[in-house]
Amino acid sequence: MAQTPPELSHLIETIMYARNAGKFLNIVGGGTKCFYGEEQCGEPCDVRRLSGICSYEPSELVITARAGTPVEEIEAVLAKHNQYLAFEPPRFASGSTVGGVVAAGLSGPARVGGGSIRDFVLGATMINGKGELLTFGGQVMKNVAGYDVSRLLAGSMGILGVICEVSLKVLPIHSSRITLVVDRDEEAALSFLIGLARQALPVNASAWHDGKVFVRLSGAPSAVEEARKRLGGTVLEPGEALAWWDAVRDHRHAFFTRSDAPLWRISVPAVAQPMKAANQFIEWGGALRWLYTDDSIVEVRETASALGGHATLFRDPHRRSGVFTPPRGALLEVHRNLKHAFDPDGIFNVGRLYPGL
């Protein structure tokens, strides 16, 4: 019988101690997303000892890593085989871990072309509130057993348990990539982006800010060149383009560096009307709209709802409660049942996703 690794044994002992003592645990990794979500509470439960790549089969397009593994380490290994994490997880700072990436459930600029993080989570292991090590999903793309449970961890903010390992689908880096810049105001930009979505174009990422649309084309050289001719605009120098998209991905772009006003992440249908607001940055073909505003939480959520979407208080200097749009009715009951099933004594990241959960 295989012996439990000491790192896992330590975590299980920590969990059982907290359960028996009636204490809360705050699951932490690199600490790069501490600003996100509701206020943290409980004693730190550090997962960084669970570090390292467990398996990687380039030909199978799958990598499995322990939760405390830095994203930079994973991406460096993938790059040697001309592969990458196609959902471009935001790292925000050095030390971001793969477990934190999954728990936060955030995707970067390539979401519009490649899919969200949930589309790439193939399997996971997790320690629940009873100290049991559970396994969900698999390590190959064709294995769908338990797949929904693995994906459920994406965006769970750690309230269900301690993620130990994650298996992710990876993709080859495209052979050709260019970024076009086109001058457009907000209304014209949204019409332009909607038009892109209706054409068979190799659009990998798109963004609008301060009167300019940025479109990243990725794919076969012939397809990228044909799209460039059709769309026009100015082509960014490769190094400048890489730096620009990385800054957007990790919120180092000047727009995201303000700390004096609440930053909202507003998800709407791409065809939603322009918000016509200052201090705005648009991604994902119009479906993701970042906004700085001092309006009340109720006002911002009403605006998002009128556009057919929802709003998340992504970063707030006032640290108000109500970060995520609260579920209601049957959906709230589903959340409660899941929390109770995985964490019956309610010790993990209490209230981090929704107050009282």
Dihedral sign for Cα atoms in the order 12, 13, 15, 20: positive
- Mean pLDDT computed over 1-10: 79
> Are 160 and 338 contacting, i.e. CB atoms less than 8 angstroms apart?
yes
Shared domain for 34 and 140, answered yes or no, is yes
Tens-digit pLDDT profile for residues 187-230: 999 999 999 999 999 999 999 999 999 999 999 999 999 999 99
Tens-digit pLDDT profile for residues 93-130: 999 999 999 999 999 999 998 899 999 999 999 999 99
Rounded to whole angstroms, the Cα distance separating 299 from 291 reads: 13
Query: Residue 1 pLDDT more than 60?
Result: no
Q: In this prediction, what percent of the chain has a pLDDT beyond 70?
A: 96
Decide which of 148 and 75 is more confident.
Answer: 75
Shared domain for 218 and 136, answered yes or no, is no
Assess if residue 350 is contained within a domain: no
- Mean pLDDT computed over 233-244: 97
Can you give the length of the chain in residues?
Answer: 357
Query: Residue 28 pLDDT more than 60?
Result: yes
Shared domain for 115 and 220, answered yes or no, is no
3 state SS of 347 = coil
Shared domain for 198 and 168, answered yes or no, is no
Shared domain for 129 and 213, answered yes or no, is no
Tens-digit pLDDT profile for residues 127-177: 999 999 999 876 543 433 433 678 899 999 999 999 999 999 999 999 999
Which of 6-10, 248-252, 339-343 comes out lowest in average pLDDT?
6-10
Shared domain for 165 and 238, answered yes or no, is no
Shared domain for 275 and 301, answered yes or no, is yes
> Are 136 and 123 contacting, i.e. CB atoms less than 8 angstroms apart?
yes
Shared domain for 265 and 159, answered yes or no, is no
Shared domain for 222 and 180, answered yes or no, is yes
Assess if residue 88 is contained within a domain: yes
Pick from 168, 158, 156, 120: nearest CA to 29? 158
Query: Locate tokens 């028996």: which residue?
Result: 20
Assess if residue 106 is contained within a domain: yes
Shared domain for 76 and 186, answered yes or no, is no
Assess if residue 130 is contained within a domain: yes
pTM of the model: 0.93
| CATH number of the domain encompassing residue 83 | 3.30.465.10
- Mean pLDDT computed over 40-59: 95
Assess if residue 354 is contained within a domain: no
Total number of domains constituting the chain: 2
3 state SS of 105 = coil
Mean pLDDT of the residues in the chain: 94
Shared domain for 44 and 59, answered yes or no, is yes
Assess if residue 329 is contained within a domain: no
Assess if residue 260 is contained within a domain: yes
Distances (CA, A) of 39 to 2, 11, 180, 205, 343: 39, 23, 40, 32, 19
Domain of residue 51: give its range.
6-172+335-342
Shared domain for 69 and 204, answered yes or no, is no
pLDDT on residue 139: 52
Assess if residue 323 is contained within a domain: no
